[in-house]
Every structure is written in C-alpha cells, then in structure tokens.
Amino acid sequence: MMLIKLAWRNLWRNKRRTWITISSVLFAVLLALFLESMDRGSQEVMVQNVVRFSTGYAQLQDTLYFDEPHIDNAMHCDDACMEKVVADFPNIAYTVPRLESVALAAGDEKTRVAFITGINYEVEHRFNEIGERLRQGDFFTGREDEVVIGTGLAQSLDLGIGDSLVVFGQGFQGAMAAGKFLVVGLVQHPVPDLNERMVFMPLPQAQKLFDAENRLNHLKLVPHQLRHHQRVVDAINEHPGYEELQAYTWEELQPELVKTIEFDQAGTLMFLLILYIVIGFGIFGTILTMTLEREKEFGVLISVGMQRHKLAQVIFTETLFMNFMGVILGVLTAIPLLLYFYFNPISLGEGMENMMAEYGMEAVLRFSLDPQFFYQQAIIVFGISMLIVSYPVVRVFRLNVLNAARK
Amino acid sequence: MQLIKMAWRNIWRNKVRSLAVMAAVFLGLVAGMYSAALVEGIMHSRFENFIENQISHIQIHHPDFIRENEVFQTVGGDMSGLESVQKIPGVNSATVRTRIQCMIASASHTGGVELYGIRPKSENQTTNFSRHLVEGDYLKGEANNGILIGESLAEKLKVGIGSRIVLSYQDKANNLVSGAFIVRGIFNSGFNRYDESTAFVFQDYLNEYLGIGEDFHELAVLAEDINDLESIRPALQQRFPESSVRTWNEIEPALEIMITSSDLFSYIFIILIMIGLAFGLLNTMLMAVFERTREIGMLMAVGMNRRKVFLLIAMETLFLSFSGAAIGLLVGYLLVAWFAKRGLDLSAFSDVMYELGVDAVVHPVLDPNFPLVLALIVIATALLSAIYPAIKALSLSPIEAIRK
C-alpha cells in the first residue's frame, strides 16, 4: 500500500514527464485503433455487400441441399413452419424465404439463361433493400403472373414494362416448368452478373411454376444482432425438432470470402506489427530518458537504505499507472475520432463514385466500431508498454550507486 | 560549424537513447517501404494473372455484342484477320473466340454457362490456358465435340473425363439448338466463379452449329508491353473499323477500383507510421531537453544566444532522424530491389493465394516515386518534431535552470 502511495506521488512530482510518457502510450493506442478500425471497416463492407445479396448471414436448408444445391433438394417449409422458426429461436428477428432455379427466359425473339427467384418482397426488402434498386415499375402489383427483371436482362431481351416473358425450364424433381409472365418492374441488381439474369417473382407464383408447393431452396435467418449468427445456427442444429434441416453460417456457405478476409487480415497483421515496433521504440525512448533523468534520485534512495527490489516495485507501479492511464485515455480519444470517420468515411476520390455505385458500393474507406478490436488493441499496446518497463526495472538492479548519486 | 559539431557530439553522449531513436526511424522506414512494396507486388501479380489469363490486354467485339450478347453480333471475316493482327508490331499474340450463353445439362444438374469456341493453339499462346488443366487433356487435333469444363462445374454436374453432357443454345437465326459434347479436360483457374460458369469447345465445331462460318465474337490481343497499348490500338481499329476496341481497364473497371483503394490504404499506412515516428521522436527529444535543463541553462548563462540554443536542439533532432532515415531508405530500397529480383516465396499461403489468383512467389514492386515521397514525408516529420522541443528549450530561464 505504501508502495502504491509512493508511486502515485512520484508520478505527480514531475507532471510534465508523466504526461509525456502517458501521451506516448496514448498515441500508440490511437494509431493502432485507427489502423485496425479502417481494416475491419473495409472487411465489414465487403461481407455486407456480398452477404446481403447472396447467402445472407445464416441459412436453413434441407440436409441434402448443401452438397447438391438444386431445386430437387428444396426443403418443405410453409408459412406455419416459417413462423415456428421465429417462435422457437428468440435470437432470430425474421426470416427470408427463397425458391430459385435456373431456366431459359425468352422475350419476343431472344432467349437468355435466367435465374428465376421467388421472393417474399416485404422481407426481402427489409433484408437487403432491393426495392431501392427498382428503376421502373413496381415490385409486384398483385397479379398472378408478374415478374420484376434485371435491367441488364431487360435490355438483352428487348423487354420493357408490360411486355411478356416466357420461362422454360425444369421444376421440382423432374416436373416441367413453363409459364408466361408479365414484366411489371425493372430492377438494377448490384451484382452485374445477376443483373443480366435476375427474374424476381412472388414466392407462391414461383412455387406453382416449379411445381414445388410450400417448398424453398433455403430460408435466410436474420438474427437480431448480425454478429450473433453463429449462435442462431448452433441453436437450430442442436434443436431436436429440426433434424431434417441443417443451418449454415455465411462462413460455411462462402469459404472463398472467408479466405479473402483471412488473407486481408494477414496483411493487416503485418502492418500492425510494423506499427507496434515503431510505437514501441517511441515509448522506449521516453521511458529510457525518464530512467536516465532519475538515476541520481535512484542512487540516493538506494544509498540511504531503500532496498533495490522495493525501488523496482515502486518504478514498476509508477509505469503501470502511466501505461494504464495511457491506454484508457487512448481509447477515450479514439472513440470520438473513429466516430467521426465512421460517419464521414475517407473518400476514394472523384471518378470512383459512379463506377462503384454501379456495383452498389460507395467510393469510401469505411471504419468499423466493433468493440472487440478495441479490447484487443488496448491489451496489445498495454502488453508492449509493460514489456518496455522491464528496462528501468533491470536498470535499478544494475545501478552503480556511487556513480549515480554523484551525478 | 561549431554548432553542428556540438549537436553531433551531444547525440553520442547518450548512445542507447540515440540508437533507439535511430532504430525506430530506420525500422519504420524499412518495414514500411517493404510492406508497401509487398502489397503492391501482390496486387500486381493478381492483375497480371487476371489480365493475362482471362481478359488479355485488348479485346475487339461487335459494338453491340458487349451489351446484348447476340449470336449474330459477330466480327466478320476469315482467319486472315487474326493473322494480320498477329503481325502488328507490339502484339505478342492474339486469338479469336466465339462466345455464347448456353444451358449445360448432365443427368443430375442443369445450369447456365458462358461457352467459348476457341482455336486451341492461338488461345494457348495468348492465355496459356492449358496450364490450368487438372485432369484430362487440352483440346487437340481436328475439331471435334470435346469440351473443357471447370472443376467446380464438373462436381456440380457429377461428370468426369469421357462423360457426355448436353448444351442448349440459340443459333444465328434464334432457333434453340442442342448438342452433345464429351468432357475431355477439367480445369481449375483459381477463380472459382469463373470455373463454375465457363466451358471451352472447338471454335470450328461450334461455329458450324451456330451457322456463322468463320466469324467470331471476340478477338483478344496480348501485347508485348502492357504500358504500350495505345500505340497498338490505332492499327487494330484500322483493321476492324466497325468494331469496338477496348483495353483491359475499359473492359474491367472494377480492377481500377481495387488498385485505387489499395494504393490509398498503403499511403494512409505510411502516414500512420510517420505520425507514430514523429510522436516518438518528439517525446524523446522533449524528455531529453528537460533532462538537460541545467546544462542548457548553463550554456545560456555563459553567453550562448537563444538562436543558437534553438538551432542546437533542432539540429540534434534532425541529425537523429536523418541518419536513421538515410540508412533506412537505402536499406529499404536495396531490400525491395533484392526481393523484386529474387521473389518472396509465400507458398505457406498458397491456398488463399491461388484462390485470389496470386502467384506463390511474389515480387515486391516499388512505385519509382515512392522513395522520394517517403523522403519528403520524413523531412517534414523531422522538422515538425524538431521545432517543438527546441522552442521548449528556449523558454527555459537560465537562472532557474542552473539552480536545479
């Protein structure tokens, strides 16, 4: 207790010195958080862009569907079943059903390979705001034979609102799927590839077309908190009532995206290591100077009878205080800074905007506010600065009392 | 002069501290430079592979084909067109392709693919495609009903070498045509989505089905030098006056987005490192000034004027950072140059690298302006961090300082 008091008083004996040391830790935390936030931000955007318009954060499928993603393996799930999923798992906010298959789509003269997708517009829009990308017409009018198609597909097939589209393909387990539909809307899908192929229709209509009543290729599960998708998936897979179905996270459904992110993280880790080295030396410089400056004081203390290990403890406690304050203040300073960049992301420069808008992206570097990396970086920087503290501690044990006191 | 000498000697009065500061500057620069070059190298490799293997440097199409993909939107002519392109100076190789959308079906799966009718020999000279084959053979011999499909597509279709698959597509007159093909080879290009949606057959064989003679949809040109495309373009445009001639960045604008954001990230990173360095330097020098209060006060008391004190402290900081920076820039430059020549083996990550289309051996690339920009940033950083401690030294009052 006495030591702590002594250390605390020592700190405020020379305020200037203390603040300089604290500020070097503070800056280290700030820089590390900035870098990590920028990196996480770009990953989050990547995941969001990809996941929202493809697999969703978590999915429920028939057990056979994962290995053979074909409409033949569509699962049986009617409205009651969808309601039951939400009722059984309180973590799930809502679900997004889909029935989809590849088929030929024809206009007056031309034929294209199309991606026929039966959706429930309300939940689909709630999930990925597809309605914002509608360029003409409506997302469904309530007719029984209506489709909304990608602007690319419309152009290739020479179709506009009010024209008819003929679909021809294979339905559920060998059934023939053919039908004539009215184009009621044009949507610009953000994935250019899909924009050339996408045909949206109301889910019941698609189920009728493919002869797959009450069946879905998959049911997207949207958790209340997006990062809790793993919990949702685990809960379903452990639930005895869902043995015929299997839930997957987007990580399982999109291993390529996971690999891309891992690679990206390896790169950031390299950058972070370099940053740690640089800021580590910065902290070392200040701690070293502090030690030198106080050698005389140490010498005197030892010569009047203070045991070296007690002195070492005092110094250790002092630096512990300083590092701790530095880290806390660093995080506190980082929060408003990162908040600013979170709401005002760095622009990639003019000229990029139009190009990226076509892909449904913004031409900015986004920042993340995921609390997880705040702890991580704070702990790492704290660890580095505590490592550096070993220098003055060792120094105290090696100090030549006579020379030091004479200074 | 005297002052310079004094500053230099002052630095070496405390070797450990000075070396620590220099080491920080040195390491920061070397590591920053190296990692920026490495990232640039990875991006480079990715683009080169993507451009050289998939889209080539320049493509020629019927102007409407790019959007509409109609079978009849061909670039006309016989093989003399291709031969004349191959003779244009600056052209490394060129090939023609027929390109259509079609449905591909096996007993167990039906899906859409982009079907390329290729001329196996010139195709391989241009894109070196045969190296992606993991099973079976590349198309060879007389035109026949052989087909090459991607590994992931083969898995979906549940087919292997020798299996029969059916393709359905529209011919020139918009009639739906079906044809049976035999799987001769299975490839893995490293781009999964591409593998899943692309298939290759003999152009002569396909053209007969489509009824388009010796016409083609796409002419791909690989130039000798990617930076010299504008000099080839007029000759190509002249040879195919009615067609659209596009370079790689016009074909894939998304690549430009990636380059820009990656460059920006590198620069932000370097700036972060420099801020880190500047702050370390500033703090260390500030501490050093306070530690030497007595000494500085003494100098002032015996008549050193304030201007000189300011210069002395500022020069110490500058010397410290410049000597670290000079060695750092030199070593960083040499390190990058050495690895640029030798290549850095990243086969530990080969899985991911392949997935992303990056070679396992990466050659770091340094933008020629980068060391210069870096040197300027260092000078600015050093100056900024030199001024504050020097000002602080000035504000000491000699009498109080000596008494300490």
Q: How confident is the model at residue B404 (pLDDT cuts 50, 70, 90)?
A: low
Nearest-angstrom CA–CA distance, B402 and A26: 33
Q: Which of A202, A217, A252 is the last residue of a domain?
A: A252
Q: DSSP assignment of A256-280, as one string?
A: HHHHHHHHHHHHHHHHHHHHHHHHH
Q: Are residues A171 and A315 in the same domain?
A: no
Nearest Cβ partner for A70 among B24, B39, B109: B109
Spell out where A188-343 has E strands.
198-202, 215-216, 218-223, 245-249
Q: Are residues A243 and A284 in the same domain?
A: no
Q: Are residues A213 and A337 in the same domain?
A: no
Q: What pLDDT score was predicted for residue B52?
A: 77
Q: What pLDDT score was predicted for residue B130?
A: 85
CB atoms within 10 A of CB A223: 19
Q: Which of A184, A218, A252 is the last residue of a domain?
A: A252
Nearest Cβ partner for B272 among A35, A156, A270: A35
Nearest Cβ partner for B260 among A17, A270, A349: A349
Q: Are residues A106 and A137 in the same domain?
A: yes
pLDDT in tens, chain A (407 residues): 788 888 888 888 888 888 888 888 898 889 889 988 988 888 888 788 778 888 888 888 888 888 877 888 888 888 888 888 888 888 888 899 999 888 889 888 888 889 999 999 999 998 888 888 888 888 888 888 899 999 988 988 889 999 999 998 888 887 888 899 999 999 988 877 788 889 999 999 999 999 988 889 889 988 888 778 888 888 888 888 888 888 899 888 888 788 778 877 877 888 888 888 888 888 888 888 888 878 888 888 888 888 888 888 888 898 889 999 999 999 999 999 999 988 888 877 666 666 666 666 667 778 888 888 888 888 998 898 888 888 888 888 888 877 777 76
Q: Which of A219, A235, A252 is the last residue of a domain?
A: A252
Strand partners, B221: B58, B94
Q: Are residues A23 and A117 in the same domain?
A: no
Q: Distance of CA B373 to CAs B26, B219, B294, Å?
A: 16, 41, 39
Give the DSSP letter of residue B314.
H
Nearest-angstrom CA–CA distance, B133 and B151: 9
Give the DSSP letter of residue B231.
T
Residue B69 has pLDDT above 80, yes or no: no
Residue B218 has pLDDT above 80, yes or no: yes
Distance of residue B126 Cα from the nearest chain A Cα, in angstroms: 25
Q: What pLDDT score was predicted for residue A355?
A: 66
Q: What pLDDT score was predicted for residue B295?
A: 84
Q: Are residues A241 and A355 in the same domain?
A: no
ipTM comes to 0.72
Task: Name residues 16-75 of chain A within 8 A of B (Cβ).
Answer: 16-17, 20-21, 23-24, 27-28, 31, 34-35, 38, 42, 68-70
Nearest-angstrom CA–CA distance, A178 and A168: 4
Residues of A in contact with B27 (CB under 8 A): 274, 277-278, 281
Could you tell me the two tokens for B257? 């987005």
Nearest-angstrom CA–CA distance, A237 and A248: 9
Subunit contact B287:A290, Cβ cutoff 8 A: yes
Q: What pLDDT score was predicted for residue B384?
A: 84
Phi and psi (nearest 5°) for B77? 115, 170
Give A337: exposed, middle or buried? Use CB within 10 Å, 0-12, 13-18, 19+: middle
Q: Are residues A80 and A138 in the same domain?
A: yes
For the full predicted model, state whether its pTM sits above 0.90: no
Based on the structure, what is the number of domains in chain A? 2
Give B9: exposed, middle or buried? Use CB within 10 Å, 0-12, 13-18, 19+: exposed
Q: What pLDDT score was predicted for residue A335?
A: 92
Nearest-angstrom CA–CA distance, A94 and A79: 12
Spell out a b/e string for A123-149, using b for 16 or more CB atoms within 10 Å of the CB, else e: bbbebbebbebbeebebbeeeebbbbb
Q: What pLDDT score was predicted for residue B147?
A: 94
Could you tell me the two tokens for A322? 């300083």
Give A94: exposed, middle or buried? Use CB within 10 Å, 0-12, 13-18, 19+: middle
Could you tell me the two tokens for A19? 């603040």
The domains of chain B are located at 2-51+255-403, 63-242
Q: What pLDDT score was predicted for residue B354?
A: 67
Label the pairing between strands B244-247 and B58-61. Answer: antiparallel
Q: What pLDDT score was predicted for residue A331?
A: 92
Q: Are residues A345 and A268 in the same domain?
A: yes
Could you tell me the two tokens for A198? 């996408």
Give the residue, A297 or B346, on which the prediction is more confident. Answer: A297
Q: Are residues A134 and A262 in the same domain?
A: no
Domain range for A389: 2-51+257-406
* pLDDT tens for each residue of B126-148: 888 888 889 999 988 888 899 99
* Planar angle of CA B355, B361, B363, nearest 5 degrees: 115
Task: Name residues 102-121 of chain A within 8 A of B (Cβ).
Answer: 102, 104, 109-113, 115
Q: What pLDDT score was predicted for residue A358?
A: 64
Residues of A in contact with B281 (CB under 8 A): 282, 285
Q: How confident is the model at residue B50 (pLDDT cuts 50, 70, 90)?
A: confident
Residues of chain B with pLDDT > 90: what percent?
Answer: 10
H or E element at residue A374 = helix A371-398
A266 touches chain B (CB under 8 A): yes
Residue B257 has pLDDT above 80, yes or no: no
Calculate the CA A278 to chain-centre distance.
Answer: 28
Q: What pLDDT score was predicted for residue B27?
A: 85
Q: Are residues A221 and A281 in the same domain?
A: no
Q: Are residues A194 and A342 in the same domain?
A: no
H-type alpha helices, B211-292: 233-239, 248-251, 253-291
Q: Please answer whether residues B272 and B57 qualify as being in contact, where contact means their C-beta atoms are separated by less than 8 angstroms.
A: no
A278 touches chain B (CB under 8 A): yes
Residue B356 has pLDDT above 70, yes or no: no
Nearest CA in chain A to B190: A256
